[in-house]
Amino acid sequence: MVIPTRNRWPLLSRALASVLGQEDVTIEVVVVDEGSSDETPGRLAALDDERVRVLRNDEPTGVARARNRGVEAAGGEWVAFLDDDDFWAPAKLRKQLDACAATGASFSYTGLVTTDPSLERRRVSPPFPAAGLERTILDMNVVGPPSSVIARSALLAEVGGFDPEFSILADWDMWIRLATAAPGAACDEPLTGYLSHPENMHLDAPAAIEEFRRLRAKHATLAASLGVRIGGERWYSWIASSLRRSGHPFRASGLFVWVALRWRRPGLLARAAGTLAGERVVARVRRLRPAPEDVSEVAGAARWVDAFATAPEPLR
């Protein structure tokens, strides 16, 4: 499995702990260090675990190239991806491999538990169904972040790896190509912990919009052949939310209004108004909403509840 990283040892140490704690699988961990200047190189060098290999780029090459280098160095039949700020439940890989074996799939993705920096749960997101994924993936990145995905090495080679022309949307571009080339399996348990924090790349909404234009042009022929458009209501709502969080309230409000009119969602007009009113109003509206689904109520999540209640201890 492949972990790109740069200058985030406190986060990486937890991610690594969750990987090394995987049950009933044989693993090889390839960490691609993108020129870290903090304690990361020394800490990685001091790890006494033959399962961990470290590749270092003296200068950052970008997340797509870093992942590709890790994939090329990996020797297994399957490759899993993990961002250095996320982590896994202990049975994550085993359950995904079993799901692929049962369905004949060549890649798999899981449900997510989103946490804040203190590891408090914020929401639980079940995976989108794999049936019809070649169409729904064009509407929005419904597969989710790289941390939830495993794929056959041969399939990754067949589709050509991650496109270095993308950064924020490199994963969405890859999942489009995977879903077009081979069947996938949705592992219907929240086995991936996704950490939401201010350094998340998705907060750079203007950059995401620019990459979206390139993504739309790249896959225009595919979308036309399937009779669908690239980017739907969920995508534009996500961008509007990202614009709001990254300090662009007027652009966010305008986009919410456009989505409300385009897809006949009058409820989004209130979000447009709330965006202009400020973060305090948005926070108050959120407090009036029903509480998010409790992780303990998600089907098959008992093992994750235990793992999440005692999240992986960072490596020392």
Within its chain, how far is the Cα of 270 from the centroid? 28
Contact, 65 vs 118, CB < 8 A?
no
The predicted structure's pLDDT at residue 119: 76
Torsion of CA 194, 196, 201, 204, to 10 degrees: 140
The predicted structure's pLDDT at residue 283: 53
The predicted structure's pLDDT at residue 289: 47
Q: Rounded to the nearest 5°, which phi and psi values hold at 81? A: -120, 145
Looking at residue 141, its amino acid is N
Provide the H-helix boundaries in 151-301: 153-159, 170-181, 205-218, 220-226, 233-245, 249-262, 267-277, 279-288
The predicted structure's pLDDT at residue 195: 86
The predicted structure's pLDDT at residue 58: 94
Provide the residue ranges of all domains of the chain, joining segments of one domain with +. 2-199+300-309, 202-277
The predicted structure's pLDDT at residue 60: 94
pLDDT 10s digits, 269-278 = 988 998 888 7
Residues 6+ apart with CB under 8 A from 37: 7
The pair of three-digit structure tokens given for residue 189, joined into one six-digit string: 């348990």
CATH numeric code, 2-199+300-309? 3.90.550.10
- CA pair distance 157, 159, nearest whole angstrom: 6
- CA pair distance 172, 143, nearest whole angstrom: 8
Contact, 99 vs 130, CB < 8 A?
no
Residues 6+ apart with CB under 8 A from 42: none
From the list 68, 73, 78, the residue with the least C-alpha distance to 22 is 78
From the list 189, 143, 194, the residue with the least C-alpha distance to 311 is 194
CA dihedral (85, 91, 94, 95) positive or negative:
negative
User: Tokens 């209130």, residue?
Assistant: 270
Within its chain, how far is the Cα of 87 from the centroid? 11
Looking at residue 62, its amino acid is G
What one-character DSSP code corresponds to residue 310?
T
The predicted structure's pLDDT at residue 274: 86
Contact, 86 vs 19, CB < 8 A?
no
Strands 29-34 and 121-125: unpaired
- CA pair distance 1, 65, nearest whole angstrom: 15
Residues of the chain with pLDDT under 70: 197-203, 279-316
Residues 6+ apart with CB under 8 A from 47: 16, 315
